[in-house]
Amino acid sequence: MKTLIQMFLKSKFLPLVLGLSILTCSQPKEKIVKTDLEQIRARGKLVALTGYSATSYFIYRGQPMGYEYELLSLLAEHLGLKLKIKIEDNLEQLFARLNAGEADIIAHDLTVTKERRQRVLFTDYLFTTQQVLVQRKPANWRQMKIHEIERQLITNPIQLIGKRVFVKENSSHVERLKNLSEEIGGDIVIVEVDGDTTSEQLIQMVSEGNIDYTIADRHVALINQAYLTNLDVQMAVSFPQQIAWAVRKTSPELLKAVNEWIRSMKQKTAFYVIYNKYFKNRGAYIRRAKSDYLSVTGGKISEYDDFLKKKAAQIGWDWRLLASLIYQESQFNPFVKSWSGAVGIMQLLPKTAQKFGAKK
């Protein structure tokens, strides 16, 4: 993904694409499916759209994790429903898929905006944040004093005039930069990248020197800075903004139920523990970011991956299917023993293991 983005950014066709993106055309009115809490309860399953990132939803050592994932799990349990997660990083597709009935709720670190309110109903906000400029510190910043570093950084929005700032298309960051250009009386060069690009990927590209500037929500920028220490994320470019989930306009009862749950959760310590776990605990984030077992970066599922790939190939299976079965049975714990006497990562009964020649 990152390589393709870099090629696109360096492409001679970039000015043409940016020019064409300015053109507008009339779009047919969006069709909104009529499904509310009653139909969802009858189905027995809450379907949620979220993003695949190191904070919202990811797999770590074979276990699903993430701020959005943990809260959604608690919400589904509260509603007496099973939870089904669907991944969508493209913001435009998020709203289209929700209104088409492919999901019941969007839990994707969404900033509440007037434009988005025309398409969906937002829940009570989960927390507030600000948009900040993400930029690189000087190459030798470790040998410099703080005031020396600051002299080489953008510390005033006016300094962004004429600068190229890369942001995800259809994001709230695009609209903020447009408004900021008006406010400072000069043009910021806004470069909109593919909608499937994540904020984390853009932040990584700034750190590696592939682009100079991007905009991110403060809570996302700060947790990434814990790992990418050559970044500065101090300069705010917006007032505080609300982060919330969204449902269809045809789901008022679901909205009511979710809002009641959010208000109740805000009275509990667990709500803030989950936030701190993913956005305040910098040490835990660094450990995950450096791990081969973080699905977003490392791609490993367990310490048994190589063995599973070899054995799955022998029987014509996708090794990830085999890994998912093992996770369901034992969470990759070779020492677990069930009440019925099943043992090992595959939870085989002794007679079954003996029949197929499995040994300890």
Question: 179-187 long-range contacts, Cβ below 8 Å, gap at least 24?
Answer: 180/237, 183/157, 184/157, 184/158, 184/160, 186/158, 186/161, 186/162, 187/161, 187/162
Q: Tell me, what's the pLDDT at 299?
A: 59
Contacts of 116 (CB under 8 A, 6+ apart): 95, 110, 122, 246
Task: Give residue 327's Cα distance to chain centre.
Answer: 23
| CATH code for the part of the protein at 37-127+242-290 | 3.40.190.10
Q: Tell me, what's the pLDDT at 292?
A: 57
Q: Please choose, from the candidates 126, 180, 135, the residue with its C-alpha nearest in 3D space to the C-alpha of residue 158.
A: 180
- Cα separation, 319 vs 114, in Å, equals 46
Q: Tell me, what's the pLDDT at 297?
A: 54
Cβ atoms 233, 134 nearer than 8 A: yes
Q: Residue 190 is inside which H or E element, if any? A: strand 189-193
Domain with CATH 3.40.190.10 in the chain: 2-24+131-239, 37-127+242-290
Q: Which tens digit of pLDDT belongs to each residue from 196-220?
A: 888 999 999 999 999 999 999 999 9
Q: Tell me, what's the pLDDT at 121?
A: 97
Q: Tell me, what's the pLDDT at 78?
A: 97
Contacts of 41 (CB under 8 A, 6+ apart): 79, 80, 81
Q: Which tens digit of pLDDT belongs to each residue from 92-148?
A: 999 999 999 999 999 998 999 999 999 999 999 999 999 999 999 999 998 989 889
- Cα separation, 329 vs 303, in Å, equals 16
Q: What is the DSSP string of 24-90?
A: ----PPPP-----HHHHHHHTEEEEEE--BTTTBEEETTEEE-HHHHHHHHHHHHHT-EEEEEE---
Q: Please choose, from the candidates 84, 56, 90, 77, the residue with its C-alpha nearest in 3D space to the C-alpha of residue 274.
A: 56
| Reported CATH class of domain 2-24+131-239 | alpha beta
- pLDDT 10s per residue in the chain (360 long)? 444 444 444 444 444 444 444 444 445 677 889 999 999 999 999 999 998 887 888 877 677 889 999 999 999 999 999 999 999 989 999 999 999 999 999 999 899 999 999 999 999 999 999 999 999 999 999 898 988 999 999 999 999 999 999 999 999 999 999 999 999 999 999 999 998 888 999 999 999 999 999 999 999 999 889 889 999 999 999 999 999 999 999 999 999 999 999 999 999 999 999 999 999 887 776 676 665 545 455 556 666 777 777 878 888 887 777 777 777 677 677 777 777 777 777 777 777 777 777 766
Q: Tell me, what's the pLDDT at 300?
A: 63
- Eight-class DSSP state of 194: P
Q: Tell me, what's the pLDDT at 286?
A: 67
Q: Tell me, what's the pLDDT at 354?
A: 73
Coil, strand or helix at 127: strand
